[in-house]
A and B are shown apart, each in its own frame.
Chain A
Amino acid sequence: MQFLISLHINPAVLDALSDEEKAALGGGHGEFIEALRKSGELISTQALVDPSQAAVVSVRNGQPAVTDGPFLESKEYLGGFYLIDCEDKERAIALAAQIPDAAIEGLGVEVRQVMFAAGQLEA
């Protein structure tokens, strides 16, 4: 089963961390990525640029219009993600709990299954 673990970041919360805490956060992600890679559960992971760099695109009457992002007005924004392939939802949740963000108040770690195309209707 494939899952997206999305990391919802709050800049105010991150700014309030000490240098040691910030270093531990970065190191924690490094260890997590290495462990996932070795277990054969990592598909990909990416961090995203600051939402101030986001562009929101809409098309009205066939005309594209671009405005500054982010789209959602919120204290938190999508900072990055892990795309994983693992045994089941329990395992995905156990893995998400190893992400250092999960231990920090104000940062969100969300697990959602990736949909698949085929399916089965049983007898």
Chain B
Amino acid sequence: MTAPALEDLLRELTPQVLGALVRRHGQFEGCEDAVQEAVLAAAVQWPAEGVPDNPRGWLVTVASRRLIDQVRSDHARRDRESATAADVVPEDVPDTDDTLVLLFLCCHPALTAASQTALTLRAVGGLTTAEVARAFLVPEATMAARISRAKQRVRAAGSSFTLPGGAERQDRLRVVLHVLYLIFNEGYTASSGSELHRADLAREAIRLARMVHAQLPGDGEVTGLLALMLLTHARREARTTAAGDLVPLDEQDRAKWDRELIGEGTGLVKASLAGPALGPYQLQAAIAATHADAATAGETNWPQVHALYLIMERIAPNPMVTLNRAVALAEIAGPSAGLALLSALDSDERLAGHHRLLSVRAHLLEKAGDTAGAYECYRGAASATASIAEQRYLESRASRLRPRVPPRSPR
């Protein structure tokens, strides 16, 4: 078995093994450590000795032994005899897929988003602490402390290893989807010092979303999120130049879009829109599919994009949605209509001084022919963003509109 294939197998088995262990012994915290150790042992032993006939059973057995050792040494330290977990090396491994239960546990509402993402990547994604730390550009010690604190919190919250029922399940599922969305987005919002790892994070989020979708194929928002990820990921090659500069959607080379991912994403969007209820991920995916459908930027179906943002504003009002709708509205009804919509956002504290509000206003002012106003807004947006790539892009837009242009250079 090749090294990547082995890694894939181990990462696929990690949540299954962890689920089996927690089901048997409880104590998520200890089980999670034991499974990590078993997976590390497999990564060392299997390439040399060959993959065992029943890899999952091997991992469960080794992890169980580690857990027992751990429980015994804990007990010994407390000078007490171990009565629990002594006879637990399992012969049979239950066949249930506990991935979903684990995801609900890792995305426990008692945790911060940063802890939820870290714990999910380790316990469900099967990444090591060092890999998670590299992905988030923090030292391993920082990430180890974060994960350990997260596990303590989960234990303190007294969570049971079952799927929550009824309305709570829907609420918790929303958190799970948000965490997967954050993992996916992390690929665009953190340093490119390790671009390889960033792309891996997007792929990892897609892999996890596929796992959830396999468990809940009828849930429109799960389908919508997976579709949104695929359609966004399809544009990854066109989104930046070789030099790392950002390319806006209307200037992207659409031949570089990944048609296979678009096909799959579009299919999922259609399936999800046929369902009974609409959610924000489905709508965002439908918008991404509309863009993907246009052979050139000029052929974009803006009335449809605008209508989708309008529905989104109704079901999940958010100033960022209104901001995006203003862009679509300007395409249909002209820049002044878009600008009028923006002025309604000025009083919204959540967006005040936000670089996105400034950059959209700059864009619309430029379209409206107000060069001086657009210049000021691009400059303001450039100083408000924390992204070096966005700043470079905004500065370049601004410099094209610089007030003191030599008369011979036509605009």
Taking beta carbons and an 8 Å cutoff, which residues of A are in contact with B?
1-2, 37-44, 85-87, 113-123
Q: Could you tell me if A113 and B112 are in contact, using CB atoms closer than 8 angstroms?
A: no
Measured as residues with beta carbon below 8 angstroms from the partner, the interface class of chain B is 35 or more
CA distance A58 to B59 in the complex (A): 60
B residues less than 8 Å from A120 (CB atoms): 185, 188-189, 246, 387, 390
- A37, chain B: closest CB distance, angstroms: 6
- B118, chain A: closest CB distance, angstroms: 8
Q: Could you tell me if B324 and A122 are in contact, using CB atoms closer than 8 angstroms?
A: yes
Q: Could you tell me if A117 and B142 are in contact, using CB atoms closer than 8 angstroms?
A: no
Q: Could you tell me if B142 and A43 are in contact, using CB atoms closer than 8 angstroms?
A: yes
Encoded as 1 (CB less than 8 Å from any A CB) or 0, chain B from 126 to 168 comes to: 0000000000111101111111110000000000000000000
Encoded as 1 (CB less than 8 Å from any A CB) or 0, chain B from 373 to 396 comes to: 000000000000111111101000
Q: Is the interface of A mostly helix, strand, loop or mixed?
A: loop
Given contacts A40-B146, A42-B142, contact A117 B249 (CB under 8 A): no
Encoded as 1 (CB less than 8 Å from any A CB) or 0, chain B from 245 to 268 comes to: 011110000000000000000000
Taking beta carbons and an 8 Å cutoff, which residues of B are in contact with A?
112-115, 118, 136-139, 141-149, 185, 187-193, 195, 198, 239, 244, 246-249, 287-288, 291, 305, 324, 327, 356, 385-391, 393
Q: Could you tell me if B288 and A116 are in contact, using CB atoms closer than 8 angstroms?
A: no
Q: Could you tell me if A117 and B138 are in contact, using CB atoms closer than 8 angstroms?
A: no
Q: Could you tell me if B146 and A39 are in contact, using CB atoms closer than 8 angstroms?
A: yes
A residues less than 8 Å from B112 (CB atoms): 87
- A5, chain B: closest CB distance, angstroms: 15
Given contacts A116-B191, A118-B192, contact A123 B287 (CB under 8 A): yes
- A56, chain B: closest CB distance, angstroms: 27
Q: Could you tell me if A123 and B142 are in contact, using CB atoms closer than 8 angstroms?
A: no
Nearest 10 Cβ contacts at the A-B interface: A40-B146, A119-B387, A119-B390, A40-B145, A119-B389, A117-B192, A120-B188, A118-B192, A117-B191, A121-B248
- B202, chain A: closest CB distance, angstroms: 11
CA distance A38 to B141 in the complex (A): 10
Given contacts A42-B142, A119-B385, A121-B249, contact A86 B390 (CB under 8 A): no
25 contacts between A and B (CB under 8 A): A39-B146, A40-B118, A40-B147, A40-B148, A41-B142, A43-B142, A86-B114, A87-B114, A113-B386, A115-B387, A116-B190, A117-B193, A117-B387, A117-B388, A118-B190, A118-B387, A118-B389, A119-B389, A119-B391, A121-B246, A121-B249, A121-B390, A122-B249, A123-B324, A123-B327
CA distance A102 to B75 in the complex (A): 44
Given contacts A43-B138, A85-B138, A86-B114, contact A119 B145 (CB under 8 A): no
